[in-house]
């Protein structure tokens, strides 16, 4: 098989390419350039990806995805922040940019499959091609892949599915010289130059307003609602005898509501923009599943009621901390991804 591998210059993608080559596949490395500001595809990372491919003796190509990255990831991210949400740009990048770039590369190069260094798996079954959790629960990245289209899932390969991060690092150290291995892992908000708070104030701004307890007591001033997220504890600029968290952002009144951790717990919320990978006919309206409300959060059992084709009501059987509009809720059945949607 001929396989295009997304090469970021990091350890995981390098080992993914190594494993495929050792399996006697015809491997081509492809590095996607997202932005001149992106930490995950800066000059050093790109040069390292190219050198990794040379070390493996496989072809290497670079594709400029910066225009698509700007329009489909960066612009929607700041639009969501301005609307009071906390978007996860990695979800949009995986759906609209990263895998689209690899699929385009596979088409241009005549490759059969596409691969990456994600810690996730794929199972091909009569019910469809289903993303599933990787073997390393601490590094599992299936959460980011619930929006992948059937076309992508049909052709995707995850060489690290059955491996632990420690095993991957050991294999990398054995197979690559130290200068070809990244010293740090890529960041979720790879396109930021300054901190999120600083860039939010510069790009979005917003009028200062009152910080209130849930009983209406004013205890401080905020710097603009866009700079805060549900569940946030540090950086609130208020003094209190107990730990306080952001509970609510009242856009209409420009008020930031803070409270105890218990006040940040929710057991009912809605999701929109649903994407399903597997939804058996018997479960079209109401079904039970595990749900994860942000990356690396603990899954909890929930009852999911579909309200329409792209909207659902989720009731968790145990309260969840910091359910945040703009983040994704991803539904699982055992280790398989059923689908997910955006928390509203």
In which residue ranges of the chain is CATH 2.30.30.280 found? 206-259
Is 282 a residue whose pLDDT tops 80? no
Question: pLDDT value at position 280?
Answer: 61
CA distance 70 to 269: 30
CB-based burial, 313-337: b 16+ in 10 Å, e otherwise? ebebeeebbbbbbbbbbbbbbebbb
Query: Given 40, 53, 90, 190, which residue is catalytic?
Result: 190
CA distance 218 to 256: 10
Question: pLDDT value at position 241?
Answer: 80
Question: pLDDT value at position 97?
Answer: 95
CB 84 within 8 A of CB 225: yes
Is 185 a residue whose pLDDT tops 70? no
Average pLDDT over residues 40-53: 89
Question: pLDDT value at position 126?
Answer: 77
Share of the chain above pLDDT 70, in %: 95
Mark whether 190 is an active-site residue. Answer: yes
- 206-259, what's its fold? SH3 type barrels. (2.30.30)
Nearest residue to 292 via CA among 93, 133, 179? 133
Query: Given 90, 93, 132, 264, which residue is catalytic?
Result: 93
Pairing of strands 209-213, 218-222: antiparallel
Which pTM does this prediction carry?
0.92
What's the full length of the chain, in residues? 344
CATH superfamily of 2-180: HUPs (3.40.50.620)
Is 94 a residue whose pLDDT tops 60? yes
Look at the alpha carbons of 258, 300, 130, 164 in this order and tell me if their dihedral is positive or negative.
Answer: positive
Is 187 a residue whose pLDDT tops 70? no
Pairing of strands 128-133, 120-125: antiparallel
Question: pLDDT value at position 208?
Answer: 94
* Residue 42 confidence class, pLDDT cut points 50, 70, 90: confident
pLDDT tens digits along 54-77: 999 999 999 999 999 999 999 999
Is 284 a residue whose pLDDT tops 80? no
Task: Indicate the CATH number for domain 264-343.
Answer: 2.40.30.10
Nearest residue to 144 via CA among 310, 292, 311, 335? 292
Coil/strand/helix, residue 294: coil
Nearest residue to 157 via CA among 114, 125, 120, 118? 114
Coil/strand/helix, residue 65: coil
CA distance 154 to 142: 16
CA distance 146 to 279: 13
Q: How far is CA 178 from CA 51, 118, 169, 190, 217, in A?
A: 12, 22, 11, 24, 57
CB 47 within 8 A of CB 83: no
CA distance 250 to 242: 22
Q: What is the CA angle 132-137-141, rounded to 5?
A: 55
In which residue ranges of the chain is CATH 2.40.30.10 found? 264-343
Nearest residue to 94 via CA among 55, 112, 120? 120
Is 32 a residue whose pLDDT tops 60? yes
Question: pLDDT value at position 186?
Answer: 62
pLDDT tens digits along 251-262: 999 999 999 999
What rounded mean pLDDT belongs to the chain?
93
* Residue 124 confidence class, pLDDT cut points 50, 70, 90: confident
Mark whether 264 is an active-site residue. Answer: no
In which residue ranges of the chain is CATH 3.40.50.620 found? 2-180
């Amino acid at each position: 098989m001929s396989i295009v591998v997304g090469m970021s210059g990091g350890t995981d993608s390098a080992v993914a390419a190594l494993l495929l080559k050792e399996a006697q596949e015809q491997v081509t490395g492809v590095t996607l350039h997202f932005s001149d500001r992106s930490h995950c595809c800066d000059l050093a990372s790109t040069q390292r990806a190219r050198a990794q491919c040379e070390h493996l003796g496989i072809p290497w190509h670079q594709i400029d995805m910066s225009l698509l990255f700007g329009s489909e990831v960066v612009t929607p991210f700041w639009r969501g922040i301005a609307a009071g949400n906390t978007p996860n740009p990695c979800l949009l990048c995986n759906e609209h940019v990263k895998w689209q770039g690899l699929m385009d590369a596979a088409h241009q190069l005549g490759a059969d499959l596409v691969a990456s260094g994600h810690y996730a798996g794929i199972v091909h079954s009569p019910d469809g091609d289903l993303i599933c959790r990787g073997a390393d629960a601490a590094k599992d990245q299936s959460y980011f892949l619930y929006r992948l289209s059937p076309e992508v899932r049909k052709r995707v390969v995850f060489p690290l599915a059955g491996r632990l991060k420690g095993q991957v690092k050991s294999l990398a150290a054995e197979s690559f010289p130290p200068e070809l291995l990244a010293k740090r892992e890529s960041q979720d908000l790879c396109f930021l130059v300054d901190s999120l708070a600083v860039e939010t104030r510069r790009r979005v701004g917003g009028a200062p307003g009152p910080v209130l307890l849930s009983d209406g007591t004013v205890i401080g001033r905020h710097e603009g609602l866009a700079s805060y997220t549900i569940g946030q504890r540090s950086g609130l600029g208020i003094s209190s005898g107990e730990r306080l968290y952001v509970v609510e952002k009242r856009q209409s009144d420009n008020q930031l509501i803070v409270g105890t951790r218990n006040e940040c717990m929710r057991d009912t919320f809605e999701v929109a923009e649903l994407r399903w990978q597997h939804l058996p006919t018997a479960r079209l309206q109401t079904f039970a599943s595990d749900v994860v409300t942000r990356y690396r959060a603990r899954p909890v059992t929930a009852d999911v009621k579909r309200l329409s084709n792209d909207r659902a009501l989720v009731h968790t059987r145990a309260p969840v901390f910091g359910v945040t509009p703009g983040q994704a809720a991803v539904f699982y059945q055992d280790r398989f991804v059923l689908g997910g949607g955006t928390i509203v």
